């Protein structure tokens, strides 16, 4: 059994898709959900799937507390699914090539500090892009700059608002993220 741990900051719809996808799996186990937000919807979702949770402070993320907690679950992969804080260097160093993130646009465009969630879709919409998409990538010490694992595009010409773009991109995330995680873990 390969353990994965999920970091999320908000509603956790991607985390939910991942927990659901691996619910009956004999090879992949979602061992822990971590969040910096005590009000995050992802906490209820984890409870529904009987996945343990940890709520932590920014200080605990940077002082080694979160790293020690993660290590206790022996993860093969650390998955950032809508995690909005800078990921700490000590966890990246402890799990080289084993921390991944999903970004709701086609990196290297529309990434970097402050580019998350609706901010990304607003910028894409304002620039009248014909396409957006998702990027699943390794996490390094710079926001949104790690090597790309997988990208998928979606036509957004007919979207009338950033919210419409966000719905199209989120549907793509839900469709592809669990499968890409599985392929990374099982080496298909």
Instruction: Measure the CA–CA gap between 11 and 5, rounded to whole angstroms.
Output: 17
**Closest approach of Cβ 21 to ligand GAR, in Å?**
13
Residue number with CB closer to ligand GAR (68 or 141): 141
Site string for ligand GAR, 116-145 (x = CB under 6 A): xx--x-------------------------
**Closest approach of Cβ 62 to ligand GAR, in Å?**
19
**Closest approach of Cβ 144 to ligand GAR, in Å?**
7
For 12-157, strand residue ranges (E) read 28-35, 53-55, 77-80, 99-103, 131-138, 148-155
Q: Catalytic site residue 125?
A: no
Q: Closest Cα partner for 165 from 129, 111, 116, 136?
A: 129
Residue number with CB closer to ligand GAR (93 or 171): 171
Q: Closest Cα partner for 181 from 14, 55, 54?
A: 14
Residue number with CB closer to ligand GAR (105 or 184): 105
State yes or no: residue 12 binds ligand GAR (CB under 6 A).
Answer: yes
Instruction: Measure the CA–CA gap between 137 and 170, rounded to whole angstroms.
Output: 16
């Amino acid at each position: 059994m390969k353990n994965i741990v999920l970091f999320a900051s908000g509603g956790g719809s991607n985390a939910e898709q991942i927990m659901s996808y691996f619910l009956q799996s004999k090879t992949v186990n979602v061992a822990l959900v971590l969040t910096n937000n005590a009000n995050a919807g992802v906490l209820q979702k984890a409870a529904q799937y009987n996945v343990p949770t940890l709520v932590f402070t920014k200080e605990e993320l940077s002082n080694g507390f979160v790293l020690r907690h993660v290590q206790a679950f022996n993860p093969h992969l650390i998955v950032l699914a809508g995690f909005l804080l800078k990921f700490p260097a000590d966890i990246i160093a402890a799990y080289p090539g084993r921390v991944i993130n999903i970004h709701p646009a086609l990196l290297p465009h529309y990434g970097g500090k402050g580019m998350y969630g609706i901010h990304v879709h607003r910028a894409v919409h304002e620039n009248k892009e014909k396409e957006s998409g998702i990027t699943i990538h390794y996490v390094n010490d710079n926001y949104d700059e790690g090597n790309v694992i997988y990208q998928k595009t979606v036509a957004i010409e007919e979207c009338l608002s950033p919210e419409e773009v966000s719905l199209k991109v989120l549907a793509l995330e839900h469709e592809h993220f669990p499968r890409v995680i599985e392929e990374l873990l099982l080496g298909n």
